[in-house]
Chain A
Amino acid sequence: MLAAIRDATEPVRIAHLAKLAGIKAADAGKLIADAEGVFNWGTDKTPSYWHTSPVAVARERLLAAAAHGLFTPAQLLKKAVPGIPKVKPADVQAAYTALVNEGTPHFVAEKTREEAKLSMLAAIREARQPATLAELAGPVGLKPADAKKLLSEMEGIFSWGAAWWHKSSIDVARERVLEAAAEVPTEAELARKAGIGKPELKPAQIKSAKESLLAEKLLYRIGKRIMDPPHAQDWLETEIAGILKAAHWDRPAAQIRALLSGAPPAQLPQSTDTVEDTAEKIFTAMNRIAFSPGATVTFYRLRQQPELAGIPKKIFDEAALLLQKERKALLAVHDHASALAPEEREKFVTDGLGTYYVSIYSR
């Protein structure tokens, strides 16, 4: 009976063994039960015997399956059960547990797998640039191949060739381009600045990011430059101050900053001048800024004079009309003001009866 068991390719039923031995099955069962190196694959009622235990076979099968890669326990169990002879899941589980406890390579406890994932994820998030496989696998005690398998299952990380990071190359390109755009560079400067730094980006990636941001109106082309308006305040402040200075029209930095911040303009102090006083001021300003005596001065320019800026429109208009009435000056009529939008007409002096005046000149 033992010889038959040794030679068999699968467990042998007790009935078959008894027949071979020419004895009763019950007697055969008592004899075999005491034998060493024989394992029952069946039940107590219907035993079948083989020279290898089910757990051992399961172990072999697990080892064979695991040799192909790092599988989850469920995957390994599935792979180990089928076959001849078929192994029970409980036996596979027992074999798996033993392999894990022994620290067999490829056999990582479920808990350990999850811990490894978390560790690697934390490492990736903390890294300043994509982390290589070796950098991730070592701290968690995994072979690179095993770590790679785990990484492929993880979400929220992006492959950078042979490395991994929590940001995609698209995200990085967009960040770099936005950062470079804060200085309002030319397109060539933008490409150069965004290309500096780790991880390295290809020019095509930077260009693609720039075009996407432009299309999304997060960046704007201003002439030959690229601007990220919310972050370009310093540059805008410098440029505006420079332009005003060149025009001999300096304004305090605080005013420029307030303009850029979008804060509501400070109310100009309302003048308390009378119509007559205002007329005098208009006359003086007109003669001061006219190109020559008798040349027209638009009310647009007059209103920019500091002494006239704060005068209420009604007073200003009446003062201009007074000058014409007193024959000190003449007002030039806008001949189709009625066709203009109301906000356009506001710029002109009006007599309140439908006539609008554009400019004034001395008689």
Chain B
Amino acid sequence: MAWELTMSPSTPDKRRPRLPLQVNPFGDLALGSPWNDAPADVPSINDAPFRTILQALSQMRMGSRGTSIVMTGEPGSGKTHLLGRLRKSIPADVAYVYVRCNASAATLWRHVRGSLASDLLKREGGNPSRLQSVLQKYPERIQQIRGFNLQRALSACGEGRHVLAASAWLRGEPLPQADLDALGIGAERDDEERSRETEAKDAVNGLLSFLAPDRVILCFDQVEALETYRGDRDGFHVMGTMVAELCHEHSHLLLVSCIVPAFEHVIDELTNKANRDRWQQHKLNLRPIEWGQAVKLIAARLDGSPELAPLRQKHPQDPLWPLDAQALTPLFEATGLCLPRTLIQACRSQFESLLGDQTEPRPRLSRQDFLQQEYADALKEARLIVPRQGGDKTLGEALPWLLQSSGLNPLGRDDRRARYSQLAFRTPRTDIAVALCYCGGNELTNRLKKIDRFWTTDPPAVRVVCDASVKPGARGQELLERINQKGAQVVYPLPEALAALQAIHDMIASARSGDLTQDGDGIAEPEVTRWLLDNMPPELEKLRDELTGRPTVGLSALPELAALVSNHKVIEAGAAAKELGLTMEEVSACALGNPMRFGVLAGPPLVLFHAVEGSGSPPEGDRA
């Protein structure tokens, strides 16, 4: 890590103003979410696209059908900022929903459901949420929904019963049976064809129907994040279909989709022209700004600083004071235009230099250290996200990246294979299909049934990804054994591996959208990918190795042993074997083959202890 001084005290520059120590008004480069409070907004920047969206909204108010707008703009052109401006400008009776599209073709509807419900349940400033307001004013609208479970959840919210559980159900989060019973919501139907995506789609349509005729703006940001691995176009096809269906079903809906230019052609290249046309009914572009707008932007940021206000009053002729305009004009040399983020970054650096030696020497992180820090932050967030949204979703969205980045070729869609697996890829030795069964109850049994029924040939070899903390029912266990005997391998990813996958997925999505920046420098996706591959956490490496064919060790007893050790915390291997009806050899093999899950003291006697999440590999001395 290199340290640098923002200004050398031995060479004072008399021409440059000296400023009191204060927060840099140019500190925020990427807004992150339109729900965040944005720094000062300049209405004239991107005014034309903004007016077009407002006009579409007005047309809806006058009875016209809603429409779909695609908004393009380079990273840093202000797409998310414009969505934030939109949120603040719309009338109170218009519902605003923001969806960051870091999902996959197989999880898009669930993703939209989660974002839709979250935003409708959001409370601002102590006011009731949008959903609460509608429930209070128009409780009869519940009857216009198709879907018994959705009606029950909304009724519970409206009546103030089991609100947390009802909110979680609306967001699509997995719930224990007790909560479902309390809500009066039916258990998962034993219908093999009804997928969680179908349920999510019904919930989205149901919620939108519930809000009708109130207008709704649904903003899709970072549409480029639908590419889960390089060349993946499935997510865009599904998105096209989804947009077309939403436009068709709901006349009160305005859709705004934001995408970077690098992926703009993907929409044009969609083979379903009808979906493409419905998605791209209007197209807007956010362009870089010219010097006049830049001056307004810088002035607005500076005026937003209370410490600077009295000082700036002394320089009424210089709207950019204390910054030096001449240092900024080179940014406009090439085309006469500049991206707002690039401008803000340059202003930030200049402002920092004006704070001089008042600031403490700031450690300048190397790129490696910066990415490590970003990863750590993302991992903390991911540990909360994964249990909430379900490991299945994380695996579906992030596994393709992991496998392709590890040099494996994803295989194209095959109708028969799609009946029992969600991913397939080619290794040097064979083709492998991955069946995601990271769930429980009837859903797990149904998925295992499909594998047993439709997987009849090898290749492809099959890897079944299961949750070690879930004990299948009798039928599920029987199916699992049968599938095992047919040659499938069962893989149990660690919870920490899933968190790592989610964190990586989010980092890649940010990089792709241009939102991952260090001191204003955008970090491109290939660089982030390289770093992630070079610094892959061991639990994720293990998952990758298990999926790609390294023989697994002692897995058949893993779920039971994991549950037992988790309960006891520390237990002799002999006692564990006796309790589970296993041999010592089986218990030893399972424990030693899964060092990420079990700590082992060699003994004798051999003792197992519960490995703690987030602590990385167990210390060397604890392994047998």
The distance in angstroms between the C-alpha atoms of A290 and B338, with both chains bound, is 23
- A300 neighbours in B (Cβ, 8 Å): 265, 268-269
Selected interface stretch from B208-216, B278-286, B425-433, B443-451: B278-286
* Contact A336:B524 (CB < 8 A) given known A294-B287, A295-B285: yes
As a 0/1 sequence over residues 258 to 278 of chain B, the CB contacts with chain A under 8 angstroms (1 = contact) are 001110110011000100000
Q: Is the CB of B261 within 8 A of A336?
A: no
B48 within 8 A of A: yes
A333 within 8 A of B: yes
B445 to chain A, nearest CB (A): 27
Interface residues of A in 292-311 (CB under 8 A from B): 292, 294-296, 298-301
- A48 neighbours in B (Cβ, 8 Å): none
- A333 neighbours in B (Cβ, 8 Å): 74, 261-262
The distance in angstroms between the C-alpha atoms of A247 and B269, with both chains bound, is 15
- B282 neighbours in A (Cβ, 8 Å): 291-292
B315 to chain A, nearest CB (A): 33
The distance in angstroms between the C-alpha atoms of A201 and B415, with both chains bound, is 28
A334 within 8 A of B: yes
Q: Is the CB of B72 within 8 A of A296?
A: yes
Interface residues of A, count at CB 8 A = 29
- B410 neighbours in A (Cβ, 8 Å): none
A216 within 8 A of B: no
Interface centre among A296, A347, A361 (most CB of B within 10 A): A296
User: From B526, which residue of chain A is reached at the shortest CB distance?
Assistant: A339
Kindly identify which residue among A294, A324, A358 contacts B262, using a CB–CB cutoff of 8 Å. A358
A330 within 8 A of B: yes
* Contact A358:B526 (CB < 8 A) given known A330-B287, A330-B337, A335-B75: no
Q: Is the CB of B262 within 8 A of A291?
A: no
Interface residues of A in 266-305 (CB under 8 A from B): 290-292, 294-296, 298-301
- B288 neighbours in A (Cβ, 8 Å): 330
* Contact A358:B280 (CB < 8 A) given known A327-B336, A339-B525, A339-B526: no
- B262 neighbours in A (Cβ, 8 Å): 333-337, 358
Q: Is the CB of A338 within 8 A of B273?
A: no
* Contact A358:B230 (CB < 8 A) given known A291-B280, A291-B283, A294-B287: no
User: From A341, which residue of chain B is reached at the shortest CB distance?
Assistant: B231
* Contact A358:B261 (CB < 8 A) given known A292-B282, A339-B525: yes
B177 within 8 A of A: no
A78 within 8 A of B: no
- B230 neighbours in A (Cβ, 8 Å): 339-340
- B261 neighbours in A (Cβ, 8 Å): 296, 332-334, 358-359
A24 within 8 A of B: no
B52 within 8 A of A: yes
B78 to chain A, nearest CB (A): 14
Q: Is the CB of B74 within 8 A of A332?
A: yes
B514 within 8 A of A: yes
Q: Is the CB of B284 within 8 A of A295?
A: yes
B335 within 8 A of A: yes
Q: Is the CB of B335 within 8 A of A324?
A: yes
Kindly identify which residue among B48, B268, B337, B526 contacts A338, using a CB–CB cutoff of 8 Å. B526
A149 within 8 A of B: no
* Contact A359:B524 (CB < 8 A) given known A291-B282, A330-B337: no
B454 to chain A, nearest CB (A): 14
The distance in angstroms between the C-alpha atoms of A334 and B282, with both chains bound, is 22
- A337 neighbours in B (Cβ, 8 Å): 262
* Contact A336:B526 (CB < 8 A) given known A327-B336, A358-B264: yes
Interface residues of B in 221-262 (CB under 8 A from A): 230, 260-262
Interface residues of B in 494-536 (CB under 8 A from A): 512, 514, 522, 524-526
- B268 neighbours in A (Cβ, 8 Å): 298, 300-301
B331 to chain A, nearest CB (A): 15
Q: Is the CB of B265 within 8 A of A335?
A: no
Kindly identify which residue among A301, A330, A336 contacts B335, using a CB–CB cutoff of 8 Å. A330
- A298 neighbours in B (Cβ, 8 Å): 264-265, 268
The size class of the interface chain B forms with chain A is 20 to 34
A128 within 8 A of B: no
A221 within 8 A of B: yes
Q: Is the CB of A347 within 8 A of B265?
A: yes
Q: Is the CB of A332 within 8 A of B415?
A: no
Interface residues of A in 197-239 (CB under 8 A from B): 221
The distance in angstroms between the C-alpha atoms of A268 and B148, with both chains bound, is 60
A295 to chain B, nearest CB (A): 4
B76 to chain A, nearest CB (A): 10
* Contact A295:B283 (CB < 8 A) given known A327-B335, A332-B261: yes
User: From A335, which residue of chain B is reached at the shortest CB distance?
Assistant: B262
The distance in angstroms between the C-alpha atoms of A299 and B262, with both chains bound, is 12
User: From A357, which residue of chain B is reached at the shortest CB distance?
Assistant: B261
- B264 neighbours in A (Cβ, 8 Å): 296, 298, 332, 358-359
Kindly identify which residue among B48, B52, B260 contacts A335, using a CB–CB cutoff of 8 Å. B260
The distance in angstroms between the C-alpha atoms of A291 and B415, with both chains bound, is 37
Kindly identify which residue among B52, B336, B415, B514 contacts A292, using a CB–CB cutoff of 8 Å. B52
- A332 neighbours in B (Cβ, 8 Å): 72, 74, 261, 264
A321 to chain B, nearest CB (A): 12
The distance in angstroms between the C-alpha atoms of A221 and B419, with both chains bound, is 15
User: From B283, which residue of chain A is reached at the shortest CB distance?
Assistant: A291
The distance in angstroms between the C-alpha atoms of A295 and B282, with both chains bound, is 9
Q: Is the CB of B285 within 8 A of A361?
A: yes
A151 to chain B, nearest CB (A): 39
- B269 neighbours in A (Cβ, 8 Å): 300
A317 to chain B, nearest CB (A): 16
The distance in angstroms between the C-alpha atoms of A204 and B48, with both chains bound, is 65
The distance in angstroms between the C-alpha atoms of A361 and B280, with both chains bound, is 16
- B522 neighbours in A (Cβ, 8 Å): 335
Interface residues of A in 344-363 (CB under 8 A from B): 347, 358-359, 361, 363
Q: Is the CB of B283 within 8 A of A247?
A: no
- A296 neighbours in B (Cβ, 8 Å): 72, 261, 264, 283, 285
Could you give 9 example pairs across A and B, Cβ below 8 Å?
A291-B280, A292-B282, A294-B285, A296-B261, A296-B285, A298-B265, A300-B265, A358-B264, A363-B287
Interface residues of A (CB under 8 A from B): 221, 247, 290-292, 294-296, 298-301, 324, 327, 330, 332-340, 347, 358-359, 361, 363
Interface residues of B (CB under 8 A from A): 48, 52, 72, 74-75, 230, 260-262, 264-265, 268-269, 273, 280, 282-285, 287-288, 335-337, 415, 512, 514, 522, 524-526
Closest 10 CB pairs of A and B: A332-B261, A291-B283, A334-B262, A295-B283, A298-B265, A300-B265, A358-B261, A339-B526, A296-B285, A298-B268
Q: A330-B287, A335-B514, A358-B264 are in contact. List 19 more A-B contacts (CB 8 A).
A: A291-B280, A292-B283, A295-B72, A295-B285, A296-B283, A296-B285, A300-B268, A301-B268, A324-B335, A327-B336, A330-B335, A330-B337, A332-B264, A333-B261, A333-B262, A336-B526, A337-B262, A339-B525, A358-B262
